[in-house]
Every structure is written in C-alpha cells, then in structure tokens.
Amino acid sequence: MSKTEFSDFVLKTLEELIQYAEVYAGNVLPRKLAFKWMSEKEYTDDRQEVLNKIVQAVYVSEDLIYPCVDLVVKSVKKNRLQIEGRIAGYEPRPFQKGWSGRMGPFIYGIGFAVPTDKTKVEQIKKKLIQKGLLPS
C-alpha cells in the first residue's frame, strides 16, 4: 500500500471512528478533531497535521505498517472530538485484517467522557454491524 493510499485509509478511518462514537452517544458529533498520542501532553487540532501525525507514526513502507493502533474518542471539548492514539508494541507487518476484524491496524474505542443517551449494548452492536464498523 502506498503512503498516499494509507493516508486516504486513515481519513476514512477517522470518519468511521466518529460514526462509531455517534452510535455509542446516540447523537451527531462534531467533525472537528483534536488528536494526540497517549504519551503526549498537547492535542493537535489541525486536520492535516492530525493525518500526518498518524501516517508518520504508523506507516513504515509500502509493505510494512504497525498492525495494532488504538484510536479512542476521549471527550468532546470546544466542539472538537478529542482523540487519543496508542501504537501497540508489535513489529510492523503488511497491511491486513486486524484484531478488530476490519482491514487495517485501527481499533476504535470510546472514553467515558463521551456523552451518551444510555443506548443499550445490543442496540450499539447492531448499529455498528449495519454500518460495517464491526464484523457480523
């Protein structure tokens, strides 16, 4: 996979992560993002910088990416989704189906500070499967 193709994949991933959080929250969430790696103190809120930061850390070469990357929507502040990422300690390998059951390295998560309308777990799971964000 070329770096450009991987960048496009990351953009698609960020939108899917937002949709994942929306299903959990039961309402529409902002598309503005703030991102940081869990080891960092400050969030980056420029969308292109967010994309570059993720691609530079995860993409190694056309044949190698880090295979397990958590992306967690932590909260909504100042009309921005705050997302934190963490790369697991696995060796880089070819782009493939990941632990989530979806193609690629990204595993979606939701922090406790994301507002919710107390949607039930089975309803969440059903909606995520319908959107293709979870394997059936």
Residue 34 domain-assigned (yes or no): yes
83-136 pLDDT tens trace: 999 999 999 999 999 988 889 999 999 886 665 655 566 777 787 788 887 777
Range of lowest pLDDT (29-33, 80-84, 109-113): 109-113
Residue 41 domain-assigned (yes or no): yes
Residue 135 domain-assigned (yes or no): no
Measured CA to CA, the distance from residue 122 to residue 117 in angstroms comes to 14
Range of the domain at 31: 3-130
Amino acid at the residue 101: G
Residue 93 domain-assigned (yes or no): yes
Residue 94 domain-assigned (yes or no): yes
The overall average pLDDT reported for the chain is 90
> What residue spans of 42-118 are helical by DSSP H?
47-58
Residue 71 domain-assigned (yes or no): yes
User: What is the number of structural domains in the chain?
Assistant: 1
Please give the helix or strand (H or E) that residue 72 lies within, else none: strand 69-77
pLDDT of residue 44: 96
* 9 contacts 54 by C-beta, under 8 angstroms: no
Closest CA to 82 of 9, 33, 22: 33
Residue 136 domain-assigned (yes or no): no
Residues with Cβ within 8 Å of 89's Cβ and at least 6 positions away in sequence, in order, are none
110-125 pLDDT tens trace: 886 665 655 566 777 7
In the sheet with 69-77, reading across from the earlier edge strand, the strands are 33-37, 80-87, 69-77, 106-110
pLDDT of residue 115: 58
